Structure 1
Amino acid sequence: MKTGVELILATKQFAKDDATRSWWYLLSTGFLLAAALALTLLPVHLAARLTGSVLAGLLLLRLFVIYHDQQHHAILPRSRVAEFLMQIFGILALSPSSIWRASHNHHHHHNSKLRGSHIGSYPIMTKEQFKQSSTGKRFGYLFVRHPLTILFGYVFMFLFGMCLNPFLNHPRKHFDCLVALIIHFAISTALVIYGGWATLLITQTLPHFITYAIGSYFFYAQHNFPGVSFSDRDGWTYEKAALESSSYMRMGPLMQWFSANIGFHHIHHLNDHIPFYRLPEVIRAMPELQNPKVTSLHPADIIRCLRLKVWCVETQSMVSLRNV
């Protein structure tokens, strides 16, 4: 059984982009998303428009994961056209390239560290740190990790977290974040003028709400689940962070398609240059990756994940506030 660097090197054979497949998945998903959004604008029965809205939210989620892969250079790494299209998409999806790459790359290199992992991820406090923190710091910490904050990821994680805050903190570096906000609210205004507030809700608000509620929870549960491991810097290794601090989220074929295989998160963290469409192939081919730490979208699993609040050094586990 391969471990350490040997295991990481063994995944390199899968880190090869098939440009034809990548373009097909990118363009076909984009076309389906455009069709679903068009349905929300047609003068048809409200049920049909709402169906288009929900489909648009799920397709936006899939396209976001494809964007995530391209930003890692896992797909179409040398295509200037793809880079341009994905930069446009990042702005429209409230996740401009400048902040996404900076925060997400930091996350990959610091995942599961007790110190420094908060950039691009949910913050982690030990039980002792939480006890010694001020009321204000405790509130801020718990607010970010609160189920309602995750549910309204559209507002808190993306409008504020990925656009407004980065621009206010570094205006020149993250000017595209301001552009994203301006365009987003310009589209909102145009939709209200075109079809009223109902059109805004169906065409823009609901799809974004669905995408970012699911996406924010995915990102939470992939690194905050029963059995997760966190380390001080001295005990941290890249392989350990991937296999012990990143979950495999089991889901049905349909949701796996809409999420573009993001559930195979332990493999993605082991080698982020593996295209999303090759991740199932990796788990079939490598026995070392077939017994990951598992969670799912079952309500009981969601509740178990959301209850976890702080890291207990004594038990080496995440615990709820009841155990603080």
Structure 2
Amino acid sequence: MIHVNIPPIDSEEPQHSAGIRVGKDLLKATKNFTEESPATSWWYVISTFLFMMAALAVAGIVEFWPIRFIFSVLGGLLIVRSFITYHDYLHGSILHHSRIAFWLFYTFGALVLTPPRSWLESHNYHHGHVGQISTIVAGTFPVISTKMWKESSRWQRLVYRIQRHPLVVLFSYPLVFLINITLIPLLKNPIKHFDSLISLIVHFGLITLLWLSGGFNLAFFVILLPMTIASTLGCYLFFAQHSFRRMQIVSPESWNYYRAALESSSYMRMNRIMQWFTGNIGYHHIHHLNVRIPFYRLPEVMDKVPELQAPITTTLSPSDIINCFRSALWDEDKQRMVSYKEAREIEEDKYL
């Protein structure tokens, strides 16, 4: 299981002067929502996995390519929802005592190039460093300040731009999931990350089997296209919910777990269909506040805890997507995210 350093919730912390719960008191308010219903969890897991397998089966069996395409896209969206259940299992919020769930999710993780060991390490780092200046790319996208940008060499700037470029998100299937999450950890420590080798064998073994038995089209519609869709959407959600115009970067002296959850994690407002496919991960500020809350209870938390009802909000609209990618650097003076162009203009104004 993933072990995120969540502060104990039974210690005392003063309330906000206006009577609003903050810090540990706010975390305490979410405690009851961590109670899982195993029957509900299994219902969501089984139905999601069956829908996913059925969609991919239709994409593989039907000959009429428009139908194959539709079900392949549907399969990709269902991989995203399946991944959220896998994500919650590794957080220990659902089915963490079930051996059946263990084998189901670890098999799924191998198939979609997210071997548990490397993914847990990177995701654990992510939860412990959200909202901080960092050049590290393990489990997160780097964020540096305008001052650091000014002092960077051309090569360092190029690398930073590449790491945060939209094409990295678009091609996250090979770049993020294959290379960064699976291959690099295996090359660095083959013994520790033996499950990465298993993942590579399982994933590419299935592609090879499909290709040999039904040709490229079968492998494309059943694996390659759905994985591309799922990887791109999943990677963008991860990027956008911690890289947006109104997010806050907190100094190491002022950083704490609660501020990172509420000020450096967004609530992504979606329609009900996308909310279902993305497993409520849009309620990201609540997830970061308490990772033990099952994904299907996140809307309930927002509905019943007033302090969580006015989060920093993003959407999947084209303008918000553009703004997320433009929000590239943290300006300490303005205390907000700025674009590369804004950073250059700010620097030029200082010399006028």
Do both share a fold (TM > 0.5)? yes
Correspondence for 1:87: 106
Correspondence for 2:185: 166
Correspondence for 2:296: 277
Correspondence for 2:287: 268
After superposition, give the CA deviation of every residue in 1:233-254 in whole Å (9 maximum; x if it has no partner): 1110111100000000000000
Correspondence for 1:144: 163
Correspondent of 1:225 among 244, 251, 256: 244
Q: Which amino acid in the other structure matches residue 144 of structure 1? A: Q
Q: Could you say what secondary structure the match of 1:74 adopts?
A: coil
**How far 1:131 sits from its partner (Å)?**
2.0
Confirm whether residue 323 of structure 1 aligns to residue 346 of structure 2.
Answer: no
1:107–1:117: 8 Å Cα contact kept in structure 2? no
Correspondence for 1:304: 323
After superposition, give the CA deviation of every residue in 1:97-118 in whole Å (9 maximum; x if it has no partner): 0011111112111111214764
Distance in 2 (alpha carbons) for counterparts of 1:56 and 1:197? 18
**How far 1:323 sits from its partner (Å)?**
1.8
Distance in 1 (alpha carbons) for counterparts of 2:261 and 2:112? 27
- Change in Cα spacing, 1:51 to 1:134, as seen in structure 2 (3 Å) is same
Q: Which amino acid in the other structure matches residue 125 of structure 1? A: I
Could you tell which deviates more after superposition, 181-190 or 255-264?
A: 181-190
Distance in 2 (alpha carbons) for counterparts of 1:170 and 1:315? 42
Could you tell which deviates more after superposition, 174-183 or 243-252?
A: 174-183
2:173–2:232: 8 Å Cα contact kept in structure 1? yes
Aligned residues: percent identity? 44
After superposition, give the CA deviation of every residue in 1:36-57 in whole Å (9 maximum; x if it has no partner): 1110121431111111101100
Q: Could you say what secondary structure the match of 2:248 adopts?
A: coil
Q: Which amino acid in the other structure matches residue 147 of structure 1? A: P
Q: Could you say what secondary structure the match of 1:171 adopts?
A: coil
Correspondence for 2:214: 195
Q: Could you say what secondary structure the match of 2:330 adopts?
A: strand
Q: Could you say what secondary structure the match of 1:315 adopts?
A: coil
Q: Which amino acid in the other structure matches residue 208 of structure 1? A: M
Q: Could you say what secondary structure the match of 1:249 adopts?
A: strand
Q: Could you say what secondary structure the match of 2:218 adopts?
A: helix
**How far 1:164 sits from its partner (Å)?**
0.7
Distance in 2 (alpha carbons) for counterparts of 1:281 and 1:138? 43
Could you tell which deviates more after superposition, 248-257 or 109-118?
A: 109-118
Could you tell which deviates more after superposition, 201-210 or 105-114?
A: 105-114
Confirm whether residue 126 of structure 1 aligns to residue 145 of structure 2.
Answer: yes
After superposition, give the CA deviation of every residue in 1:129-185 in whole Å (9 maximum; x if it has no partner): 122222222222111110111111111110111111111112111111122112221
Number of corresponding residues: 324
Distance in 2 (alpha carbons) for counterparts of 1:118 and 1:44? 42
Alpha-carbon RMSD? 1.2
1:262–1:276: 8 Å Cα contact kept in structure 2? yes
**How far 1:195 sits from its partner (Å)?**
1.5
Distance in 1 (alpha carbons) for counterparts of 2:333 and 2:307? 28
Distance in 1 (alpha carbons) for counterparts of 2:32 and 2:136? 29
Correspondence for 2:87: 68
Q: Could you say what secondary structure the match of 2:144 adopts?
A: coil
Report the TM-score when normalising by structure 1.
0.97
Q: Could you say what secondary structure the match of 1:235 adopts?
A: coil
Correspondence for 1:78: 97
After superposition, give the CA deviation of every residue in 1:64-108 in whole Å (9 maximum; x if it has no partner): 011001100010121122122111111111101001111111211
Confirm whether residue 257 of structure 1 aligns to residue 281 of structure 2.
Answer: no
